[in-house]
Amino acid sequence: MAGWDTPYPHDFEWDYFPGPARVGLGVGSAPAAPQTPCLSTFTRCEFHNKVADFSARSRRPQIEVNGLSHREGSAFLESQRAVGHPLLNCELNPMFDIHHFVNGETFKGTSGRWGDVFNPNTGVVAARVQLATEAELDQAVQAALAAQLGWAAVNPQRRARVMFGFLSLLQARAGELAELISSEHGKVIADARGEIQRGLEVVEFACGIPHAQKGEYTEGAGPGIDVYSMRQPLGVVAGITPFNFPAMVSMWMFPVAIAVGNTFILKPSEKDPSPPVRLAELFMEAGAEVGLDLKGVLNVVHGDKTAVDAILDHPDIKAVSFVGSSDIAQYVYSRGAAQGKRVQAMGGAKNHGVILPDADMDQAVKDISGAAFGSAGERCMALPVAVPVGKKTADELRERMVAEIETLKVGISTDAAAQYGPVISKAHREKVAHYIQMGQDEGAELVVDGRGFKLQGYEEGFFIGPTLFDHVKTGMKTYHEEIFGPVLQLVRAESFEEALELPNKHQYGNGVAIFTQSGRAARDFAARVNVGMVGINVPIPVPVAYQTFGGWKRSGFGDTNQYGMEGVKFWTKVKTVTARWPDSALEGHADSSFIIPTFK
């Protein structure tokens, strides 16, 4: 087997590649670590009497054995032991399973249905995840119901202390979580760390829930009458999250929902299900640290449409938050609302970046490149459409963008030098490639074609190179639809008004950006554009955690946004109390109950 026939020297050293998907062998004077990871997972290996127990270093480590399957890896180890190779004692474990997390512990369902979880860098199956039945979802709901009244009775200060503890654990484990995200999603480690940071900022907001959940009070609304309101939890609520931000979007939902006194069912994407489970484990730790048993407060149920429909139809789930594609968002909103649930459903996007002639072109090119190609374009707040105003601006942007693309590095998710990694799956890579071909067929000019990109040693990975189109027209299907990949489309506009009209008329209205040095133009644009989130010289205008996130048109269904005070409103119901404590000795008994109360 190439690269493995030379014995390792006695000064062999470990070279640890972070992330559950990869633990490589140190090179020293030994042959280079193989470039293609595989399914083979070792829990304990001995090299010249050096023993490595991986369980302390990674939850799901792997040693790379030239892309072998588990069966081939086993045979390979036996052959190497037979010839005296220094792989003296290795235990080979099968592919691991990812289970539900219900009532504070791992819950092994009995559905018999599984989904494959891939390592996008290599294109091989790294794990399998259980897919819940309707009955298994109900078991999670029953656990949440049993916990809800007790959790809601915990005073707001103690609930906040849980959030503070959870925040501390997130900060301490940010590296581990980033590696976990990276191993299943494929985004580079730095990007995954950014995801964790934006998620934990919502937890920071939830730490202030004693203040955020306060009601209002009016003294003396009438003679001896006071009026006050209180925000009370809904009960058992649920969140359905997408693959592109397995941790961040989960933390947009459950920290605020739980902090106000609800219990939560989280149904993450089955494509990268491990990070939400880890979040639930850390949340349990946070409760234990302040002396609270949080069993049933946060439950994670994996699944496909069966689980989604079970959530939407379950009579004990009172509210559902969703993030995903627009077609599914509309389905979730319609079906959930028909069952009497409160629903917020965030959909897709086709965000535009308008570049005025006075823009700082150096900064604009960097910003647009990162926003269009970062995370392989798998962001609902990516910037896949650039709208340069005027021919000179368009020609300059195109020339500079081509040069910028040539500097980009696409690599495996653990490559610190890579700007972005693979897309989530082979099917999604093929979908993006189909859109590129469609754009070419529609008559757009394909300036840079990323379909031929291959990463040496990772040829089966789900990689696609940065792609640039020019002279894209508004009637093209590729302009109308969300591609969700590393594809940037240039749509040229002759004037400010024409540029403004593009996002205003598009079916999506999630985010938009304008690049200019004119305060007047930026102010006018922000006031008139028909989009939910606006960036002024900011390419990805995701609001901070104490503001709120939400798109317009087909980018958002429902009338309440994610997180911030809008999140508090969504996850609570308002009760208003009008109180009077009459003294009959002083006031007598006025017979006024047959007329509507009025105050003079």
Catalytic positions, written as ranges? 380
- Residue 584 vs residues 493, 587, 590: alpha-carbon distances, Å: 76, 5, 9
CA angle 308, 105, 21 (to 5 degrees): 75
The DSSP bridge partners found for residue 319 are: 237, 342
Q: Please report which residue ranges of 347-486 form alpha helices under DSSP H.
A: 361-373, 391-407, 426-442, 477-480
As a whole number of angstroms, the distance between CA 379 and CA 330 comes to 19
- Residue 19 vs residues 65, 66, 121: alpha-carbon distances, Å: 16, 18, 12
As a whole number of angstroms, the distance between CA 349 and CA 101 comes to 32
Three-state DSSP class for residue 135 = helix
Q: Please report which residue ranges of 490-531 form alpha helices under DSSP H.
A: 496-505, 519-528
As a whole number of angstroms, the distance between CA 88 and CA 51 comes to 10
- Residue 231 vs residues 158, 176, 204, 242: alpha-carbon distances, Å: 17, 36, 20, 29
As a whole number of angstroms, the distance between CA 299 and CA 404 comes to 44
Structure tokens belonging to residue 438: 């469609």
Q: Please report which residue ranges of 25-117 form alpha helices under DSSP H.
A: 70-82
